[in-house]
Structure 1
Amino acid sequence: MTTTAAVATTAATFLGMEFIAWFMHKFVLHGPLWFLHRSHHVRHPHHFERNDFFFLFYGSLSMLLIMYGAETKDFRFWMGIGIATYGSVYFFVHDVLIHGRLRFWRKSRSTYLRALNMAHKMHHKATTRDNSEEFGLLWVSPRYFTLAMRKPAPTRILRQPTARAERSVEKNS
């Protein structure tokens, strides 16, 4: 397989995964598999939720495609790479940026990321399988871009040291 074909296959698979994720989220997770996905829509004290098991399906599919296509680096290998790339982006955008499961990213000044966050919050307003909207991950309805552009971006404010912290610094100097 040529480099151009490999890149095209990976990119097409990545982009196709957005549609597949939207479709699965809307019709399967908010349908017959709601009993697993529900854990993602309700508050709970746990670090993990039943919804987290869905990564096993896509991760296994990606791994199998990579393994069976690795010897010849055929289309299966590059499709597996595309699925793995989408899964990595999904984890970073959804779990880290939106839900803050790893707390190293706070507020963003990016209009796109703020629109994405607003859309996702609208999705989570519904705690039942019905009446949700915005099922995609990376594609955001234009109305959320309009809202994100109207709402001012957060400013970064450095915390002023408290009097107690200032005394501690002076004492240690």
Structure 2
Amino acid sequence: MHPAIGLLWFLGTIAFMEGFAYAAHRWIMHGPGWFLHKSHHEPRKGNWELNDLYAAIFAVPSIVLLLGGVQLGWWPGFAWIGAGIAAYGAIYFGFHDVIVHKRLNHRYLPKSAYMKRIVQAHRLHHAVETKHGTVSFGFLYAPAPEVLKAQLNAGGNAGVRGPRGRQADQAPGPRR
């Protein structure tokens, strides 16, 4: 396979993975897979959470396609597709786990409008503690924060987390 064609498969797979990640996040993780994903919407205790199993689950197709395309004589495009899945995983890890959730210590502060928008959208996603009523399920693309805030307000703010530091026995205050 010509490397230019392979590169198109690689880049196309990265783009496809954003759509796949959106669908998996919205309808699997906030659906029947909530039993794993719920840990990601709660304060983390330690370095790991049950939600981290999704990374291992989503790595399997990448590994199989890379192995088949490189070592087992399958169609060479499978290697490029497997590499695209792995690249999306690496990009996701960098944005989501490192930049947004700071699972690795760093001092990076988003300066570009794009990065600020992605971080804000993910924070708005985490404003909801429950399986239902949240917004912004993609990661490399996110609607404007104003749109997401309007969606949260339209949903009546069901499940929206109260201000940090509020005692559980205090009466709930106004939602922001």
TM-score when normalising by structure 2: 0.79
Residue number in structure 1 paired with 2:161: none
Alpha-carbon offset, residue 105 of structure 1: 3.5
Residue type of the partner of 2:40? H
Out of 67, 90, 96, the position equivalent to 1:88 is 90
Give the equivalent residue in structure 2 for 1:70: 70
Structure 1 portions without partners, runs of 5+: 148-173
Separation (CA, whole Å) in 1 of partners of 2:66 and 2:136: 31
Which residue in the other structure is 2:48 paired with?
Answer: 48
1:35 counterpart residue number: 35
How much does 1:87 deviate?
0.3
2:111 to 104, 109, 112: 109
- The answer (yes or no) to whether the contact 1:119–1:144 under 8 Å persists in 2 is no
Q: 1:144 to 1:84 in 2, by over 3 A?
A: farther
Runs of 4+ in 1 over 3 A off after TM superposition: 142-145
Structure with bigger helix share is 1
Name 2:16's counterpart in structure 1.
16
Could you tell me how far 1:46 is from its partner in structure 2?
A: 1.7
One-letter code aligned to 1:109: K
Cα displacement string for residues 18-49 of structure 1 (whole angstroms, at most 9, x for unaligned residues): 00000000000000010100000011322100
Cα distance in 2 for residues equivalent to 1:91 and 1:144: 26
Q: Rg: which structure is higher?
A: 1
Distance 1:144 1:59, change over 3 A: farther
Shift of 1:143: 4.4
Contact 1:115-1:144 within 8 A present in 2 as well? no
Cα gap change, 1:113 to 1:144, in 2 (>3 Å): farther
Aligned residues: 146
- Kept in 1, the 8 Å contact 2:14–2:87? The answer is yes
Shift of 1:106: 3.1
Q: 5+ residue gaps in structure 2?
A: 150-176
